[in-house]
Structure 1
Amino acid sequence: MLPKISVTVFLLAVVGLAVAGNNQALNITFNGFRSANLSLDGIAEFTANGLLKLTNATRQEKGHAFYPNPIKFKYKSSSSDVSVYSFSTTFVFAIIPQYPTLSGHGIVFVLSPQRGLPGSLPSQWLGLFNNTSNGNSSNHVVGVELDTILSSEFADINDNHVGIDINGLHSAVSAPASYFVANSTDYRNLTLISGKPMQVWIEYDGNEKQMNVTLAPVDINKPKIPLLSLLIDLSPILKDTMYVGFSSSTGSVLTSHYVLGWSFAMNGSAQNLNISQLPTLPSTLTKKTPKFLIIGLPVIMVAIVSVIVSSLYYVVRRKRKFAEELEDWESEYGPHRFRYKDLHIATRGFTDEQLLGAGGFGRVYRGILPTSKIEIAVKRVSHESRQGMREFVAEIVSIGRLRHRNLVPLLGYCRRKGELLLVYDYMPNRSLDKFIYDEPKCTLSWSQRFQVIKGVASCLFYLHEEWEQIVVHRDIKASNVLLDAEFNGRLGDFGLARLYDHGTDPQTTHIVGTLGYLAPEHTRAGKATRSTDVFAFGAFLLEVVCGRRPVDLKAPTGRYDTGGYGVLPLDQGGANSSCGSEIGWEL
């Protein structure tokens, strides 16, 4: 008969082998999610054709999808040491934005000690953490992010990258989205928001303590060279049992995040997905166009002709009503151009009920786009002079490519009969100055003001240092900072902005801006530089902290607020200018 202690040790060993055997046998495979058993929360859902849709057309929300059962990740490698099993996963995903060059936020494959990630926030937090929990070692969270937004607070390398996250959104290692070509060391870039399906492979070697991440288009075999490789022992980070799944979130710009198929395995390679069995994305679904048969009966033909003739006058009038200018050189800016008809419908015909503000440079209207239902602000400005229009539109489109969470997105433009219409994302809480001047009904707390200041500073650093060109804003002030639904500060009004290449000297131009924010060297030399922006930011900082204007101005008759969406630049707008009208105010 065995001693009691020996029997106990033997039983523990048998239990350990049984658990290890279970993990070795664990292999989850979903070629589509039509009958998948996953735990969903937030706005995540399954579509009728078997897609896992993590986000829908809802702003500032998050979506999670987890395998419902906890998985054992740790085992005793010796009498005192604890190790993490090797594991492997692969999945096919797609990110489809509403606009080709604008995106919401990304997708994260995540290992978490609990489903749902309580307390997590949407937007830049990706449904994983919040401003308190981010970076805490008590999180016990490991993630691989496919991020489409540059968040400078997390030291992101760009707005199209892959990263390995350990307990926070400051990636331990990251790289631009790309893959290595077979039989070479050359790599090709990928655009995460292209709307095309892509495949990810994530592998952790428990013996070598190494995690590899590989990315490729869905029709390419797995590259031999991984995109990311990180030497890390996960045993201090992971708990004994963990949940595996996906997290995503929405911000101000709506984006749909899909997972088409997923495979996960412990102590082995994840089973290959059957690409041909995966469900089809909405954007690639084939629409069956009904074929109309023309019946040559005289009665039907007469009826058709009568309808066409009676409608001709109406059609001609309608075309004239919605006519707009379109020249050959604008073809390259197609994705940034809105149809006047859509803007007319969105603003209910530019009625006074939709008016947000007005001034000497035009009016700003609130609208809802008829197809996407996204809220917009449309600024109508006169532009009778054709001189410089091509350069001006090119600059508008360039500014439209700026992507930062503290910018008011410029979605696009429309030209019609000497009129220019600029389309912005709508900010529900309007401009910052409404909350710090004139005895506002709602007063911002110091923490809210400090958050706004940090946001504008982060945005300014992005414009000056991080984008492909240097952007000098030239009119930083409280009335040009808009507040979104969460009271985050968004820098707007790029009508006076100027762009120039890194390493070059900005050209001398007219003095534009607002009295009280103009740097002395700007008024002397007429050059707007990054330093003059920093001077204006300092005045703005004091303005927000003290609740006092830099100069106590009295607006002249006929000058109205334009809701923070700005004016046209002096150089392009003719004889009038923002500087001229504002410096002309009485002191």
Structure 2
Amino acid sequence: MFPMSLALLLSITKLLSFATAADVEAAGSSSVSRFVFNGFLGANLNLNGAGEILPSGLLQLTNNTHKQEVGHAFFPTPFLFLNSSLGEPSSFSTSFVFAIVPQYSDLSSEGIAFAVSPSVNLSAGLPSQHLGLFNLTSNGDASNHIVAVELDTTESKEYGDINDNHVGIDVNGLISVASMPASFAPNSTFDSRFENLSLISGEPMRIWAEYDAKNIQFNVTLAPLHVKKPSLPLLSSKVNLSSVLLRDMYVGFSSSTGHAAGSHYILGWSFALNGKAEELDPSQLPTLTITEEDPASAKKTKYWAILFPIAVVVLLVTISIIIVFVLSKRKRKYAEVIEEWEAEYGPHRFSYRTLYKATGGFSNDNILGNGGFGEVYKGLLSKSKQEIAVKRISHDSKQGMKEFGAEIASIGRLRHRNLVQLLGYCRRRGKLMLVYEFMPNGSLDKYIFGRVEQSLSWKQRFNIIKDIAAGLLYLHEEWEQVVLHRDIKASNVLIDAEFNGKLGDFGLARLHDRGETGETTRVMGTFGYLAPELSRTGKSTRSSDVYAFGAFLLEVACGKRPVELRGCGVELVLVDWVTEFLRRGELMEAMDRRLGEDFVLEEAEMVLRLGLICSHPVAEARPGMRQVAHYLQGEAPLPDMTPEDFPLFQSASIRNALVVGVSSSD
């Protein structure tokens, strides 16, 4: 009996040595004040999404097999974050060891956030730059009551990120109240220099986050795992959380991946309320095992170690000559010149070999379409298995290098959910290639004008209209500079897998400082979408983009191109055709016949009228894109305009032809 009791005692002692039994003082939120996990084997955590505890004791929030993934892990018991008698916020302290291991060393896999939340259910949080914490509507909402420390590896301009490797303090949203590049200060009171750290290095790092409620002081300190806690914090900011923290709050982690996959790990974690969190013991933490590199280098070394003793001088000289010759020839073959603008704007640069393999040697079977710049090919990157679209600019393209540079400069740094993402580029011997995210449903024009089995419903069309309005508003007013697209039309709107609309083809885009307009020596764009003033001034403006957007609204609603050749041999101008229906009091007759009665009357009428307003021949009469967005979201009524407020037709011959068009059943 004694041996059995001893064995039982030893088992219990071993179990308690894991942080699974964490130093938890009680089960209710009124008495829980601290815990510590030196590894998570057997831990009772609330896991959601991709979060799981591995057999090794690692807490894995995401893995390297899925992109656009979210993982959550929270301590299951809430803490009393408000003093019950005074209603004042509590101080807290936490320390944890983390590691971010991207699937590919040069591609970011987003990041991790430590979060204090009123709920463990963050299922509404989006992946990518949202870190699984917020979504498009909840971001910045004071009702979130969420405090977070983010370890962010992607630069999102829309959220004011300082770079793609930073630590930030977030309150109710993704715009950090304070942030700094990932780094640490050596332990010297006389030396305040910081040494840089790479969050995606795959190396374990330790972080301390400490909030002093009395002095409303929030300190965050970062260091490599085996470095003592620096005396100088990375972040030290005054943050008043009195209106943010509620009585019962949960603590845990949220993580996400984006366009690239990766694994996010927590090796150990301690937390204390109204006290200092217990220091973690590195010797008790689980081992982080990273996949070893390809052993080709070791094999090559072994090969030369065997060959060298038996090689003769002549053979060595011959081999050396051959190697020099081959390398020189290969270098000349793949030589690429890097210009100044590439250093300033350069997104990821792909090798020609990578794109050649991805597109099957630029096979005709992979051609997605042809445009003024040349062919567009579908491709599949062999390592990441990501589908891409490669635009290869022809040698005889009239646009050439100038517009290639414009496209890199414009879209390379833009990040918006309704703009086609530029992943990178390639230049080789005059061949110019742009690499975009692949849009599986192609361009909008084939659904509006083409003969496809799947026709777009009104709900899908209206959502796409609002998507493009949001993207154009970002270009005009929300980015650091004004971007004029100059070629807005259905064929330049691409549809993703969920039938969301994304604005693409920035080959004609121009980048300007705010307050300036574009001036060109020739009118650029597509006939039917060009504002009247362009033929007189040659200046592209935000208003001329709005004119093209008006033509886009009408073609999506009516299922007709802005200018069409009728059977009578006269061009039908869509804006005049719709205006004639308005004058007759039969505006809804202009709707696409393929929709039948399947549309919301108020929305359809608003889109038709807004299309006419945006297509007004007088630039000053057109609204800005922010006002357009308000109209489309139902946040403001359209101006009360009568048919007489719209301009008359330009000539009697066109008017007669249009009347024929109105009378036809087409």
TM-score by length of 2: 0.63
CA distance in 1, matches of 2:357, 2:488: 32
Deviations 1:334-387 (A, max 9, x none): 863222221121112222332211245321111111122111111222236999
Structure with more relative contact order (C-alpha pairs < 8 Å, separation 6 or more): 1
Deviation string 1:553-573 (CA, Å, 9 cap, x unpaired) is 69xxxxxxxxxxxxxxxxxxx
Q: Is residue 2:94 matched to residue 1:89?
A: yes
Alignment correspondent of 2:238 = 229
Q: Which range moved further: 282-291 or 401-410?
A: 282-291
Q: Cα 1:468–1:371, aligned 2, differ >3 Å: closer, same or farther?
A: same
Taking the aligned partners of 2:190 and 2:541, their CA distance within structure 1 comes to 44
Shift in CA distance, 385/66, structure 1 to aligned 2, threshold 3 Å: same
Alignment pair present for 1:23 and 2:28: no
Could you tell me which residue of structure 1 aligns to residue 475 of structure 2?
463
Deviation at 1:482, TM superposition (A): 1.6
Answer whether contact 2:68 2:128 (CA < 8 A) is retained: yes
Superposed displacement of residue 225, structure 1: 7.7
Kept in 1: contact 2:126–2:133 (CA 8 A): yes
1:204 to 1:43, Cα distance in 2 relative to 1, 3 A: same
The question of 1:214 aligning with 2:223 is answered: no
Of 107, 117, 124, the match for 2:122: 117
Q: Deviations over 1:265-289 (max 9, x none)?
A: 2221223456797866959989895
User: What does residue 270 of structure 1 align with?
Assistant: 277
Judged with a 3 Å threshold, the aligned counterparts in structure 2 of structure 1 residues 349 and 266 are, in CA distance, closer, same or farther, namely same
Return the TM-score normalized by structure 1: 0.71
CA distance in 1, matches of 2:517, 2:192: 35
d(CA) in 2 for partners of 1:215, 1:284: 30
The answer to whether 1:157 aligns with 2:160 is: yes
* AA in 2 matched with 1:231: N
1:295 to 279, 299, 306: 306
Inter-partner Cα distance in structure 2 for 1:498 and 1:95: 38
Change (3 A) 1:101 1:504: farther
Q: Report matched runs for 1:530-549 at 5 Å.
A: 530-549=542-561
How many residue pairs align between the two structures? 520
RMSD over aligned CA atoms reads 5.0
Aligned to 2:520: 508
2:484 is equivalent to residue 477 of structure 1: no
Tell me: CA distance 1:375–1:275, structure 2 relative to 1, closer, same or farther (3 Å).
farther
2-side partners of 1:521 and 1:101: how far apart?
A: 47
CA distance in 2, matches of 1:100, 1:470: 33
d(CA) in 1 for partners of 2:495 and 2:308?
62
> What letter corresponds to residue 86 of structure 1 in structure 2?
S
Take 1:92 and 1:196, find their aligned partners in 2: how far apart are those partners?
Answer: 12
Q: Output one character per residue of 1:16-50: Cα deviation in whole Å (capped at 9) or x when no partner.
A: 999689534x23244x6678664443233567694
CA distance in 2, matches of 1:544, 1:550: 10
Alignment partner, residue 66 of structure 1: 74
Query: One-letter code of the match for 1:371?
Result: K
Cα distance change, pair 149–106 in 1 and its aligned pair in 2 (3 A): farther
User: Which residue number in structure 1 is paired with residue 64 of structure 2?
Assistant: 56
Instruction: Give the AA of the match of 2:96.
Output: F
Question: 1:412, 1:423 → 2: CA distance?
Answer: 5
Deviations 1:485-533 (A, max 9, x none): 2333222111112223446553423211112222222232222233322
- In structure 2, what is the equivalent of residue 247 of structure 1? 254
Structure 2 partner of 1:379: 391
* Alpha-carbon shift at residue 389 of structure 1 (Å): 4.1
SS at structure 2 position matched to 1:539 = helix
Quick check: 1:103–1:193 contact (8 Å CA) kept in 2?
A: no
Q: In structure 2, how many angstroms separate the alpha carbons of the residues matched to 1:247 and 1:221?
A: 26
2:116 maps to amino acid: L
Q: Render the CA deviation track for 1:66-106: whole Å, top value 9, x for unaligned.
A: 23x3133257643xx55554321233556566789975644
Does structure 1 residue 550 correspond to structure 2 residue 562? yes
Aligned AA (2:122): L
Q: Say if 2:62 and 2:257, in contact at 8 Å, map to a contact too.
A: no
Amino acid at match of 1:128: L
Identify if the C-alpha distance between structure 1 residues 285 and 381 changes in structure 2 by more than 3 Å, giving closer, same or farther.
closer
Larger radius of gyration: 2
Q: Separation in 1 of the partners of 2:206 and 2:46?
A: 22
Spell out the pairing of 1:161-176 with structure 2 (5 A cutoff): 162-166=168-172, 169=173, 174-176=177-179
8 Å Cα contact 1:94/1:192 also seen in 2? no
Contact 1:82 / 1:235 at 8 angstroms: preserved in 2? no
The alignment-based identity, stated in percent, is 48
Alignment map for 1:328-339 (pairs within 5 Å): 329=339, 332=343, 336-339=348-351
Displacement of 1:426 after TM fit? 0.9
The corresponding residue for 2:417 is 405
- Aligned 8 A contact 1:199 1:217 in 2: yes
Give a deviation string over 1:189-245, Cα, whole Å, max 9, x none: 98987658766543344556x462535564682545845432132687343xx4321
Q: Which has the higher mean CA deviation after the structures are superposed, 542-551 or 270-279?
A: 270-279
Q: Is the 8 A contact 1:151 1:404 kept in 2?
A: no
Superposition pairs for residues 9-20 of structure 1, below 5 Å?
none
For residues 462-488 of structure 1, give each alpha carbon's deviation from its aligned partner in whole angstroms, at most 9, with x where no partner exists: 333444443222112222122222333
Residues 108, 143 of structure 1: 8 Å contact kept: yes
- 1:529 maps to a residue whose letter is T
Q: Quote the residue 1:436 is aligned against.
A: 448
* Aligned equivalents of 2:402, 2:142: Cα separation in 1: 53
Structure 1 pair 549–256 and aligned structure 2 pair: CA distance change class (3 A)? farther
SS in structure 2 of the partner of residue 509 of structure 1: coil
Name structure 2 gaps, 5 residues minimum.
1-24, 567-660, 662-666
Q: Report the counterpart of residue 7 of structure 2 in structure 1.
A: none
Gaps of 5+ in 1: 1-15, 555-586
Correspondence list, 1:285-364, <5 A: 289-290=297-298, 291-292=301-302, 294-295=305-306, 323-327=333-337, 329=339, 332=343, 336-359=348-371, 361-364=373-376
Q: Is the 8 A contact 1:397 1:412 kept in 2?
A: no
1:178 Cα deviation after fit: 4.3
Q: C-alpha separation between the residues in 1 aligned to 2:398 and 2:142?
A: 59
Aligned mates of 1:353, 1:435 — CA distance in 2: 22
State the match for 1:573 in structure 2: none
2: distance between equivalents of 1:529 and 1:195? 44
CA distance in 2, matches of 1:196, 1:144: 19
When residues 450 and 410 of structure 1 are mapped into structure 2, their CA distance, relative to the original with a 3 A threshold, is same
Indicate if the aligned counterparts of 1:346 and 1:368 stay in contact, CA closer than 8 A: yes
Bigger shift: residues 539-548 or 185-194:
185-194
Tell me how far apart the structure 2 counterparts of residues 98 and 394 of structure 1 sit (CA, whole Å): 31
